[in-house]
Structure 1
Amino acid sequence: MTWSCFAMRSPRNNPLATLLLLAIVGQPSGATRGADWMQLRGPNSTGVVQDATFPEHWSETENIVWKQPIAGRGWSSPIVAGDRVFITTVVRQQGEDEAAKPGLYFGGNREETEDVVLDWQLLCFRLGDGELLWTEVLHSGKPPTPRHVKNSYASETPVSDGQHVYVLFGDVGLYSVDFQGNVVWTKELPPCKTRYDWGTAASPVLFEDRLYFVSDNEDASYLAAIDTATGDEVWRTDRDEKSNWSTPYIWQNSQRTEIITPGTGRSRAYDLAGELLYEWGGASSITIATPYAAHGLLYVTSGYVGDKKRPIYALRPGASGDVSLEDDAVSNEHIAWFKPQAAPYNPSTIVYEDQLYVLYDRGLFASYHARTGALVYDQQRIRNGRSFTASPWAANGKLYCLNEFGETFVIKTGSEYELLHVNQLESKQLAMATPAIVGSRLILRTGDALYCIGEK
């Protein structure tokens, strides 16, 4: 596969856009407003909000500002920019999606593509009242590759700069769409073979006027930088990796800005020109979680449940070359601390104040000191927690963990584990998406609906 596989298409307009008269929030590309949640896991990819005022309790009949049904299937998270909420989904033109079972299991691989036409869609809602303002079909056609029954064709979360939404659909394309639903540019992506045809999931990220995304696959993996104004390639760096599903992270540390890309073969850091800065090995055989930074450290995890290696790494800035740990070592000049068997599989970890919290897929919960890695409390069973895929979020001294059944478990932060209560929402399909938080509102996606939760 070469970069020439990408093809640009001319911009096209949504014919309904002129009827919508939407209020567009004007700000420079790449700017961040404190009230916005414009990427996966929010500002700095941490999942933490210090001044949120959304309610602690909710249900189908309590503190629901609005609820909108969502057709099709998509595990992508909602994002919020100004008074607009954006999500993606893929809708079948006929028939129904095969039901996905909750939990971790074998037997979900699908080797053949379905003979069905799909619509890859971007939806825009008004934050205040939930009105669906527009739906843009970015691509229609038969699926180019199979998918694991528990994956979707809309698993990548879009990202926004406050003026445009950038949408990645793995084997289909990359799109820039303005807030009126007009497609500014389109870049077609060739289908790529993933491990066991599980499909894609890594989301794009923004920094200044560049869009970065990773395509780690079985054919030819790469990290790419795209000009947000034109969709043109800025650079592409080939990667000696096979399939991974981890979203890259832009780490602005005390010494420089780095692009962090976890991987099963090697986790790597690149500069903004795509040049390799440093790397290290030791991940599990499947890498999914999103990295992030806190207390001046970078946290990278990889935790396939079937492996003995399920590491959490905390790294200091300024590394170069190969910084892999020697046998039996738990730290070195650049790795502040390391836990060899502590990482979750699907969820990302989260740091709130001085503690790092770990939500495990099968309903366990643990905590470590964020700066040292010392154990705060070992794995605790979340009562009736069952199965978790979405990453936890934190606000006002509480951690929130959404399971695949639409239940959110509210856990007190601190040195002792304490489950406070559980908030239940209905969901006929699996709830797999991490929510967005904007001040007094929590935007939560279950398998078949989008909720705005707020005091009511």
Structure 2
Amino acid sequence: MRILGKTSHILAVAVLTGLGSTPTHGGENWPQFRGPGARGVSEETDLPTLWSATENVAWKQELAGRGWSSPIIWGDRVFLTTVVNEGETEKPKKGLYFGGNRPTVPTTVHSWKVICLNLNTGKPMWESVAYQGLPKGPLHLKNSYASETPVTDGQRVYAYFGNLGIFCYDMQGNEVWSQPLPVTKTRYDWGSAASPVLHGDRLYFVNDNEEDSRLVALDKRTGDEIWNIKRDEKSNWATPYIWENELRTEIITPGTGKVRAYDLDGKPLYEFGGMSSITIATPYADSGLLYVSSGYVLDKKKPLFAIRPGATGDISLGKEETSNDYIAWCQKQAGPYNPSTIVYGDLLYVLLDRGFLACYDAKTGKQVYGKQRIPNGKNFTASPWAYEGKIFCLNEDGVTFVFRAGREYELLRTNSLTDDTMCMATPAMAQGKLLIRTDSGIYCIERAAKK
């Protein structure tokens, strides 16, 4: 273990006194990418459904630098990551396109930061510089050096920066430990994005790249490596998922070559193929089934799988099969590219990057309604979320499309932020507040009646 960066605080110690207490009710927090269970669903009943750049905005906080990591929430704190370039950062173009590769590593100094904001006011509580120096590798125009979402257990917050390291802080912003990571090449020099996950006393992360792909378990208290296994994979960007099912606990790791499940000691349990050539979406479970998808837009294979617990060995489908003993169902042309899917109630919704919404029965995989064009939807990268009987889909222009959850396609309304914004981070929600990160800051949306 090696300390890579020096911590700096922007507020006096006295201001931070008393911030160590943490709530115990899980519904009050949003501790990781897509929240509890990585499902993107909240059971709260007082979250906002109507907003604009000014309406129902409790606060807005500008953020320096660039970061596509999602905000996370614990108690009265919001955690984010960003990387500030002392030089000029090229502005990304929206949408799906070729030509975004940038193989030259920037030669200007960058600062990798972990930021804590007050959930109720948006005011900064603390800011820590994890590392300052030159980037270790190149990056796609639309990616950022802070695309991995941090994770917290309410005692510490863990920030993972690909090609740099993992940094652990206490809730007051003091660096507890850091663990450097090797520099590896990613496909087309696109950079990294898969977020870390916590389970028990361990922190797990996947680093799938072109040179030496790994799944690693660290002791969350010390940063010491518990195990480190090599993966027969190339670059992927999917966050792993810890599946606690009725039979056992599994680490699910989607990949281009195979989806693989491991036990908590890194021993392979089962695997299956059939994914598209680029894998980004995060797996999750609901009502006893595991959902995995992969849908690179130029591939013929865009599968969406539902998996039963208890599998062993290779459970791949045959060419004409859509189910077997452990694959409950598969829709071979349903998977989205960037967004993850979402199960809400007994239905599974698929948001496609180019502006379509589709719906399937979550138990059987049968189509409820096919691809419906979202009016003026354009480009979607963030994953959808759900609450209060509605499905929310945020596009890169900062427009959220609100759909009624159910067996009929019904667009209820659109909520727009400013015209010049860009949104790629998946929002977070807790305690009646919805947090939407843009390319320049973060909005806290809240029902006016609570203000």
- TM-score scaled to structure 1, two decimals? 0.96
**CA-to-aligned-CA distance 1:133-189 (integer Å, 9 cap, x gap):** 111111111111000001100000000000111000001110001111111001111
CA contact (8 A) 1:12 1:184 kept: no
1:36 aligned partner: 29
Distance 2:267 2:390 in 1: 39
1:43–1:25 CA distance, 2 compared to 1 (3 A): farther
Candidates 4, 8, 26, aligned match of 2:2 = 8
Tell me what 2:84 maps to. Answer: 91
Partners of 1:208 and 1:107 lie apart in 2 by: 42
When structure 1 is superposed on structure 2, of 208-217 and 436-445 the one drifting more is 436-445
* Contact 2:66/2:146 (8 A) holds in 1: yes
Q: CA deviation at 1:70?
A: 1.1
Looking at structure 2, the residues matched to 366 and 398 of structure 1 have their Cα atoms a distance apart, in angstroms, of: 14
Relative to structure 1, the CA distance from residue 13 to residue 68 in structure 2 (aligned partners, 3 Å threshold; closer, same or farther) is closer
Do the aligned residues in 2 keep the contact of 1:25 with 1:82 (CA within 8 Å)?
no
Q: Which runs of 5+ in 2 are unaligned?
A: none
Q: Hey, what's the Cα distance between the residues in 1 that align with 2:12 and 2:271?
A: 46
Aligned equivalent of 2:66: 73
Indicate conservation of the 8 Å contact 1:302/1:311, yes or no.
yes
Q: Are 1:427 and 1:446, in contact at CA under 8 Å, matched by a contact in 2?
A: no
1:257 matched to 2:249? The reply is yes
Secondary structure of 2:37's match?
A: helix
Secondary structure of 2:188 counterpart? helix
State the shift of 1:17 in Å.
5.9
SS of the residue corresponding to residue 378 of structure 1 reads strand
Contact in 1 for aligned 2:421/2:438 (Cα 8 Å): yes
Following superposition, the deviation at residue 74 of structure 1 comes to: 0.6
Aligned to 1:342: 334
With over 3 angstroms needed to count, the CA separation of the structure-2 counterparts of 1:405 and 1:218, relative to structure 1, is same
Q: Distance in 2 between matches of 1:22 and 1:191?
A: 38
- Separation in structure 2 between the aligned mates of residue 320 and residue 40 of structure 1, nearest angstrom: 28
Alignment correspondent of 1:453: 445
| 1:18 partner letter | V
Residue 312 (str. 1) matches residue 304 (str. 2): yes
The 5 A counterparts of 1:271-290 are 271-290=263-282
Letter in 1 for 2:31: M
Distance 1:236 1:272 in 2: 12
Q: What displacement does 1:9 show?
A: 2.4
Cα displacement (A) at 1:18: 2.3
- 1:214 and 1:228 map into 2 onto residues whose CA distance is 15
Picking from 172, 175, 185, the partner of 2:167 is 175
Shift of 1:315: 0.3
SS in 2 for 1:452: strand
Counterpart CA distance in 1 for 2:154 and 2:107 is: 38
Distance in 2 separating the partners of 1:199 and 1:89: 15
Equivalences for 1:99-248 in 2 at 5 Å? 99-248=91-240
SS in 2 for 1:196: helix
Instruction: Work out whether residues 100 and 430 of structure 1, in 8 Å CA contact, stay in contact via their aligned partners in 2.
Output: no
How many angstroms apart in 2 are the aligned matches of 1:74 and 1:18?
Answer: 27
1:377 and 2:369 correspond: yes
Partners of 1:17 and 1:169 lie apart in 2 by 27
Cα distance between partner residues in 1 of 2:83 and 2:25: 28
Out of 430, 436, 439, the position equivalent to 1:444 is 436
Per-residue CA deviations over 1:247-269 (Å, capped at 9, x if unaligned) read 00000000000000000001000
The residue matched to 2:28 in structure 1 has which SS?
coil
Shift of 1:24: 2.8
Q: Which amino acid aligns with 1:79?
A: I
Task: Please say if 1:354 is aligned against 2:318.
Answer: no
Secondary structure of residue in 1 paired with 2:158: strand
Please tell me whether the aligned partners of residues 11 and 184 of structure 1 are also in contact (alpha carbons under 8 angstroms).
no
Q: Which residue of 1 aligns with 2:54?
A: 61
Alpha-carbon offset, residue 19 of structure 1: 3.7
* Residue of structure 2 in register with 1:18 after alignment: 13
Query: Residues 417-451 of structure 1, C-alpha deviation per residue, up to 9 Å, x if partnerless?
Result: 01111001126452001111103111111111111
Deviation string for 1:368-413 (max 9, x for gaps)? 0000000000000000000000000000110000000110000111
- 1:227-282 superposed Cα distances (whole Å, 9 cap, x missing partner): 01100001111100000000000000000000000000010000000000000001
Q: % of aligned pairs identical?
A: 57
Q: CA, structure 1 residues 172+376, in 2 after alignment: closer, same or farther (shift >3 Å)? A: same
Paired residue for 1:266, among 258, 263, 266? 258
Displacement of 1:27 after TM fit?
A: 5.5
Q: In 1, are the aligned partners of 2:253 and 2:260 still within 8 Å (CA)?
A: yes
